Chains A and B, each alone.
Chain A
Amino acid sequence: MDLTFNAEERAFEREVRNFIATNLTPEMKRATALTPSVFSEPDIGMAWQRALHRKGWGAPGWPVDHGGPDWTPAQRWIFETECARAGVPNVNVMGVKMVGPVIIGFGSPEQKNFYLPRILSGEDYWCQGYSEPGSGSDLASLKTRAVRDGDDYVINGTKIWTTHAHHANRMFALVRTNETERQQDGISFILIDMKTPGITTRPILTIGGDHEVNQVFFDDVRVPVANRVGEEGKGWTYGKYLLEFERGSGIASAKLRDALKTISDLAESEATGRAIDDPDIAVRMSEIEVDIDALEMTELRVLSALQTGQNPGAVSSLLKLRVSEIRQAVTRLGVDVIGNDGLYVEPMRPLYRLNEAPGIPEELLPVVPEYLNGRAYTIFGGSSEIQRDIVAKMVLGL
C-alpha cells in the first residue's frame, strides 16, 4: 500500500498545473472566489469549459469515443484535486456530469451526435427538470404530463428548484407519459429546447440573496417524440442512473479542503482580527480538517478499488451524506470567523461585479451567503433523510 503517485501520474499532475496556470485568468479566479453558490455564472463557467475543451479535457468522465480524455481513476483524482486547489470555476455540471452520461448510455445515435459535441464545446447550457412543487423527495409522484400527439409530446405542468433555468437553452426532464399502477413505470426522460413556446420561467430568490433556482411552467409545450431518451416509461431508470452521478461524483474532499483553507486564511488575517487565536475556532478548524481527512481517505479507498478493477461496494453511498454535512460545517465556521462583518448584507449580484466598493473587505462578502445557501446541501439531490434510508437499505441490507 502506498499513497504516492507514480512517475507518469506526477508528470500528469505537472501538466494539469501548467494548463491551469496558463488558462485560469485572475478574473475567473476572483469571480469563483466571490461566487457564494455551487454554480458559477455561465460567462465564467463556460469560458473555463471552452478552455478545457480546447485541451480535450471537456468531459473527464466520458468514454474516449465521445470525447472523453480516457483518464485512469488516479488521473481523475489528480485533475479534480488540482482544479480545486487552484479555485477554477464550475462548469455546467447539468450538461457534462448529468445529461451527458445519460445520453451516452441510453440516447440514440442522432441524439449522441447532436447533443454531446454541444455539451463539450459549451454551446449548450443545460438545466435539470426533476422536482415539482408536489414531488420533492418523493420524486416518482411527479405530475408534469407529456401526452402523445402525432410526432410530438404535448407537455403541461411545472418544475421547480431548476438551477440556472434562466441561463439554460436546454432542459432534461422527467415527465409522466403514462398513468401506471407503479408510478415509476409511467415516467419518460425527455430533452426540451427552452425556447419552445409555452415555457415560462419564474425566479426564486434564496435566503443567501442569490438567484440560482427557478420555477418553470409548461403550457401546451410541443416537444418532438424524437427528443425522448431511450424507451417510453423507462425514464425513472435513466433518471436514477443520473442521480448516482449527482450524488457520488466521487471526488469532493479536495474542494472541501480548499473551502476550509479559505476560511482558515481569513481566520489568520487581520481582517477578522485573527479569529484563529480563539482556541474554540482553532479546535473546530481541526475537527473539520480531520473530517475532511477521513472523507479523503474514503474517496481514495474507492479510487484505489476502481483503479485495480474492483467494485468499491456500497461505501460510495455514504459519501453524499458526509460531503454535505462537512460542507455545512465549513460554512458555519466561516460565519463565526468573520464575526461582526457577517451582519453586512450585500444585495447586489454578482459579487465580483459590484458598482461600488463594499463596506467590508471584499473577500468576506460570500461567507454568510455561502452558509445560507449551504443549508441546501443536505436537501438537494436527495435529502440527508433520504440518503439515510438508502444507506439502511443498500449498505446495511435492512
Chain B
Amino acid sequence: MDLTLSDEQRLLRESADRFVNETYTADHRRKIANDPLGFSAEIWKQFADLGWLALPIPEAHGGLGGGAIEIGILMEAFGRGLVSEPYVSTVVIGASLIAECGTEAQRQLLLPKIADGSLYLAFAHSERQARFDLADVRTMAKKTPDGWRLDGQKTAVLDGSAAGQIIVSARLDGGKLGLFMVPRDAPGIDSRDYPRLGGGRACNLDLNGVQLPADALLGDSSDVLPAIETVVDRAMAALGAEAVGIMQTLLDQTLEYTKIRKQFGRPLSANQVIRHRLADMAMQCDEARSMALRAALMADAEPVARSRAASGAKAKIGKCARFVAEQSVQLHGAMGVTEELDIGSYFKRLLAFDTLFGGSAYHYRRHAALGGRAVQA
C-alpha cells in the first residue's frame, strides 16, 4: 500500500512539467492552431529523445515498459500545457493495440518506429450509428484473393490526417472484429480533415473498396473486441489524467483572477459566494485527481474491475470537469467568453474530453451495467 511516487516517477514528473512550462506558451498554441498538422513535428522528435514515446512499449521491443501511472504523470503535464501532439493516438492507443493484437513480426516492425518518433498512428473505430458502443461496428472487411477489401465509414478519427498508418476496425466474415493497418494515402480512402475542438485535428473517413495486403490484419483473425476495450479503458485513464491537469490550471488561473479583479472596491474573492464556488471547484479537482489515479492503478486489473474503474473515472471526471470549466468562465465574467484569455482553450479541451469515448451519462450507465444492473449501456 503505497501511493507515493518512486524516484523515477518523480523525475519524470519534473521533466514533463519543465518541458511543458518552457514549450507550451500561449504563443505556441496560437501558432499551432493554424498548422495543417495541428502539432509540431519538431516537438514530437523531442518527445522521442526524452523517451516518452517509448514509455509504455514493452522492453523487448525497444520500449521502457512503463505503465498507466507513468502515462498519467505525462498526461497531467500535457493537460496543463494543452499539448496537441498525437500522444494518445500514437502511443497510448496505437502502440497498445499493436502490442495487444499484433503478430510478433508486426510488433517488431512497428513498435520501434513508434518509439523513435518516425510513425504517427490514428485509431479509426467510431461510427455514427454506434455512438459510444465499442462493439457496434458496421465497416466490413472482405477477404480477397490478394488480401482484404474494406468498406465503411468512420467518424472522429483523432489525428487521422497526420497519421502514417490508421488502425481501422472492421467486421470480418463470421462477425468477429478485426483491426487493419491502413496507410493514410491508400486508394479508396476519402478523408475529411477538420480542426478539433480544444486543439489538434481529426477527420471523418469513407472507406470505399480499400484494398489491403493479407498482412494488413493485426494478429490472426481472433476477435479483437476485448483488446479494444482494454486499450480504450487505458486511453480513458490517460485522458482523465490530462483532464486533471487542465482542471488544475483553470482553478489556478481563476483563483488568481478573483484575487486581482476588483468590483465594489474589493477583490471578487472577498465575496463568500465566490469563495464557496472556488472551494467547490477545488474539491471537484481533487475528486477528479483521485479518480484518474484509481483508473491508472486498476489498468491491469481483471476486465470487469478495470472497465468499471475506467468508466467510473470517465463519468466522474467528466462531471467535475464540466463544473470546473463552466465556473471558470463564469467567474472570469465577460472576459471568460473571449478568445483573449487562455481559459477558453482549456474550457474547450475539457468539453472535448467529456465527449470522447462517451460522456458522463453513458459511462455511469456502463458502470451500472458492468455491475450486473439492468440498464442499457
Contacts and interface: CB of A to CB of B under 8 A. Distances in A.
Q: Bound pair: A and B?
A: yes
Given A293-B294, A389-B272, A391-B282, 9 more contacts: A2-B1, A279-B374, A285-B368, A286-B312, A286-B364, A297-B293, A315-B286, A318-B282, A396-B279
A396 to B, nearest CB: 6
B291 interface: yes
A286 B368 contact: yes
Interface residues of B, number: 40
B334 interface: no
A290 B315 contact: yes
20 contacts: A1-B4, A4-B1, A276-B373, A277-B374, A279-B375, A279-B376, A283-B375, A285-B373, A286-B315, A286-B365, A286-B373, A290-B291, A293-B309, A294-B316, A297-B291, A301-B3, A307-B2, A388-B275, A389-B272, A398-B278
Contacts of B283: 318, 321-322, 391
Nearest to A299: B290
Contact of A293 (B255, B291, B365): B291
Interface in B301-338: 309, 312, 315-316
Q: Which 5 A-B pairs have the closest CB atoms?
A: A297-B290, A392-B275, A304-B3, A391-B279, A282-B373
A220 interface: no
Nearest to B287: A294
B5 interface: yes
B367 A9 contact: no
B267 to A, nearest CB: 9
A290 B316 contact: yes
A322 B287 contact: yes
B15 to A, nearest CB: 18
A254 to B, nearest CB: 14
B227 interface: no
Contacts of B286: 298, 315, 318
Given A3-B297, A4-B1, A322-B283, A298 B290 contact: yes
A75 to B, nearest CB: 10
Contact of A392 (B276, B293, B365): B276
A51 interface: no
Interface string A292-324: 011101101101110110100001001001100
A69 B288 CA distance: 35
A287 B360 CA distance: 10
A124 interface: no
A262 to B, nearest CB: 16
A387 B283 CA distance: 11
B294 A297 contact: yes
Nearest to A279: B375
A395 B279 CA distance: 8
A355 to B, nearest CB: 39
B211 interface: no
A307 B3 CA distance: 10
A172 B309 CA distance: 44
Residue among B6, B69, B286, B294 with most chain A CB within 10 A: B286
Q: Could you say which of B6, B9, B287 has the most chain A C-beta atoms within 10 Å of its C-beta?
A: B287
B306 to A, nearest CB: 13
A293 B371 CA distance: 14
Residue among B3, B9, B269, B279 having the largest count of chain A Cβ atoms under 10 Å: B279
Interface in B111-143: none
A6 interface: yes
Residue with the greatest number of chain A CB neighbours at <10 A, chosen from B5, B291, B373? B373
Nearest to A282: B373
Q: In the complex, which range does the number of interface residues on chain A fall in? A: 35 or more
A74 interface: yes
B280 interface: yes
Given A277-B374, A290-B316, A301 B279 contact: no
A300 B312 contact: no
B290 A290 contact: no
Contact of B2 (A1, A385, A392): A1
A346 interface: no
B4 to A, nearest CB: 5
Contacts of A6: 1
Interface string B262-302: 00000001001001101110110011101101100100000
A291 interface: yes
A328 to B, nearest CB: 15
B160 to A, nearest CB: 32
Contacts of B368: 279, 282-283, 285-286
Given A1-B69, A2-B297, A291-B316, A9 B1 contact: yes
A3 B309 CA distance: 14
A395 B283 CA distance: 10
B5 A388 contact: no
Given A1-B69, A294-B287, A304 B312 contact: no
Interface centre among B3, B255, B282 (most CB of A within 10 A): B3
A391 B287 CA distance: 14
A282 B374 CA distance: 7
A298 B315 CA distance: 17
A132 B71 CA distance: 53
Contact of A3 (B1, B279, B375, B376): B1
B259 interface: yes
A289 interface: yes
A333 to B, nearest CB: 13
Contacts of A310: 4
Contact of B275 (A301, A318, A389): A389
B282 A395 contact: yes
Nearest to B72: A1
Contacts of A3: 1, 3, 297
A19 interface: no
B68 to A, nearest CB: 10
Interface string A338-352: 000000000000000
A287 B364 contact: yes
A241 interface: no
A5 interface: yes
A396 B364 contact: no
B312 A388 contact: no
Contacts of B312: 286, 289-290, 293
B55 to A, nearest CB: 16
Contacts of B2: 1-2, 304, 307-308
A287 B320 CA distance: 12
A264 to B, nearest CB: 9
A297 to B, nearest CB: 4
Nearest to B269: A398
B291 A308 contact: no
A395 B375 CA distance: 39
Contact of A286 (B276, B309, B367, B374): B367
A388 B364 CA distance: 28
Contact of A385 (B9, B276, B291, B293): B276
A387 B4 CA distance: 27
A23 B368 CA distance: 36
